[in-house]
Structure 1
């Protein structure tokens, strides 16, 4: 069995990616191929797995934790930007994310003040960093 680290997982959508220890392209993972309760807090965990051919290329299957944590933890945000073909997992720069937040707030709540928009943006960007949706730069 191969080994690697979970680098991204979206609990709501039920899929994510593993970075293999021996390098190469990240492998797709789906909740149905995991032998333990998988949550977005599993990002950063080391796992063993088998490589299989999936509908869109290689994927990991029969995934097992190698070192179960005493308590769930979060990994630092990832800076991997090479998943261009997976729009659901796009990582944005803080500037891009901030721009999108501002536009959405102005369209949906035009009565917000500039100060309110700034506070909301600050909180959402912090959440984006914590979940790996946003990278500095």
Structure 2
């Protein structure tokens, strides 16, 4: 049966830990051999999906997959622009007849897009990707200084 839950603890070196199922019940044993993602990604609080099995010593999770990875490095979901204003449109496209976005506005919108599409990126990874894309957009004239 497919279930969801949160990782209570996972010892990457020893390769095992426990999941608290979303449904009421006892904690479920998890082993590194049953992880579908890299084991370093499974941290306390990570939301997972798994199949419940009965092992020799009680409930055991198999085919464990990350659903959501919390990160202390995440930025706010909708950061304010440097001038304190909000984005012009929800879809991120410029209104008809408007000029190319400023570098600051483009950085903010790009950061939001990265956070929404890849929640497991660290702040440093977001900064690296963002600066690479900003450099490319500036070189192509897609954004104004």
Structure 2 length-normalised TM: 0.46
Pick 1 or 2: higher relative contact order, CA cutoff 8 A, min separation 6.
1
Structure 1 length-normalised TM: 0.48
